[in-house]
């Protein structure tokens, strides 16, 4: 069991408002922190949310527009001043490396920890850890934008402890083997793992769009997400504007959530022109019921589906 939650560190699009900072989303998964986008000012929300400065950390940048990446420099510098020592892995398109290295040179700031910049040049798996992977897919925006998915691998099925106990198997290593798919020998008899465990239990899948038009490619990429975080820069009235600027409306995000068979849609990246975001929720709900409007500092827990 690994706890997982989303913390929204910025939910405005392009321009911040009194209540909304620029794009940033943190996923806290066990002891690890995964940050998607670092809009300017996100470090204030980061501090306020008390996530912790010294966790194992990976940062992903969807694209090199200012409202998604300018806050990275401030975050890196603050973490260093606050005494961070653990390295940070940073992922993004080729210009991200230039952006970081040139700024570090010009501003001349030193970091007390190592940063490892991973240049993303193609779609597919970019991170593979023991329990999960992160994949990316090209979106459709005015600048090269990668959408991301965090997908956990299957967990072992439920372990029928009593069934094993009844056979007199002593607790310890043998239990662990059976639970994790290995057959064992006990008193000259072979015990088959699958007879003592339920079917594998699926992990969770979280999708993060960055800035994009809704596309059929993303529909496939986000297939069966437990949570889909999708941009809704515009309300339905501004559909033409959304098309021209390569963004999405609330309804378009909802239709994509439905087509991708996602379980829950969280809308974010709202244009500063809208004072009442609730209206966008009702637009989206015409097409997809389970819609949630993200606000800065919202925390959403993500339980396992079984
Ligand atoms: Zn943006």
Q: In terms of DSSP bridges, do strands 132-138 and 124-128 run parallel, antiparallel, or are they unpaired?
A: antiparallel
Alpha-carbon distance of 63 to 260, in angstroms, equals 23
The chain-wide mean pLDDT, for the chain, equals 94
Two structure tokens written together for 301: 């827990």
Alpha-carbon distance of 97 to 109, in angstroms, equals 16
> What is the per-residue pLDDT for 15?
92
Whether pLDDT at 29 is above 80: yes
CA 296 to ligand 1 center in whole angstroms = 15
Whether pLDDT at 181 is above 90: no
Per residue in 95-127, pLDDT tens? 999 999 999 999 988 899 999 999 999 999 999
CA 189 to ligand 1 center in whole angstroms = 62
| Banded pLDDT at 275 (limits 50, 70, 90) | confident
CATH topology of domain 4-155+201-301: Metallo-beta-lactamase; Chain A (3.60.15)
> What is the per-residue pLDDT for 101?
94
Alpha-carbon distance of 180 to 115, in angstroms, equals 35
CA 242 to ligand 1 center in whole angstroms = 12
Per residue in 16-28, pLDDT tens? 999 999 999 999 9
Strands lying side by side in the sheet with 205-208: 124-128, 132-138, 146-152, 205-208, 227-231, 264-268, 291-293
Per residue in 194-240, pLDDT tens? 999 998 899 999 999 999 999 999 999 999 999 999 999 999 999 99
Enzyme catalytic residues: 67
Whether pLDDT at 172 is above 90: no
From first CA to last CA, the distance across the chain in angstroms is: 11
User: In angstroms, what CA-CA distances link 250 with 33, 53, 76, 149, 260?
Assistant: 28, 34, 33, 20, 15
Domain ranges of the chain: 4-155+201-301, 161-195
> What is the per-residue pLDDT for 61?
98
| Banded pLDDT at 65 (limits 50, 70, 90) | very high
Whether pLDDT at 276 is above 90: no
CA 166 to ligand 1 center in whole angstroms = 59
> What is the per-residue pLDDT for 289?
96
CA 69 to ligand 1 center in whole angstroms = 10
Per residue in 128-149, pLDDT tens? 999 999 999 999 999 999 999 9
pTM of the model: 0.92
CA 64 to ligand 1 center in whole angstroms = 9
């Amino acid at each position: 069991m690994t706890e997982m939650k989303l913390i929204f560190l910025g939910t405005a699009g392009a321009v911040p408002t009194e209540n909304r900072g620029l794009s940033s989303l943190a996923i806290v998964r066990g002891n690890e922190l995964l940050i998607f986008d670092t809009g300017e000012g996100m470090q204030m929300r980061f501090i306020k949310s008390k996530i912790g400065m010294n966790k194992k950390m990976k940062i992903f940048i969807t694209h090199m527009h200012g409202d998604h990446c300018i806050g990275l420099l401030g975050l890196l510098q603050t973490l260093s001043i606050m005494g961070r020592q653990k390295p940070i892995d940073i992922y993004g398109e080729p210009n991200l490396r230039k952006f970081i290295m040139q700024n570090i040179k010009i501003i001349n700031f030193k970091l007390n920890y190592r940063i490892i910049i991973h240049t993303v040049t193609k779609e597919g798996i970019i991170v593979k850890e023991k329990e999960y992977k992160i994949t990316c897919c090209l979106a459709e925006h005015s600048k090269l934008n990668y959408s991301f998915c965090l997908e956990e691998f299957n967990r072992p099925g439920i372990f029928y402890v009593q069934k094993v106990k009844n056979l007199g198997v002593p607790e310890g290593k043998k239990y662990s083997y059976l639970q994790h798919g290995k057959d064992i020998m006990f008193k000259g008899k072979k015990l088959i793992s699958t007879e003592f465990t339920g079917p594998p239990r699926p992990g969770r899948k979280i999708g993060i769009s960055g800035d994009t038009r809704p596309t059929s490619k993303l529909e496939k990429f986000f297939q069966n997400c437990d949570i889909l975080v999708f941009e809704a820069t515009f309300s339905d009235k501004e559909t033409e504007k959304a098309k021209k600027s390569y963004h999405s409306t609330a309804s378009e995000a909802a239709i994509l959530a439905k087509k991708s068979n996602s379980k829950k849609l969280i809308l974010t990246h709202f244009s500063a022109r809208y004072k009442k975001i609730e209206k966008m929720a009702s637009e989206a709900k015409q097409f997809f019921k389970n819609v949630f409007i993200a606000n800065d500092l919202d925390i959403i827990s993500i339980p396992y589906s079984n």
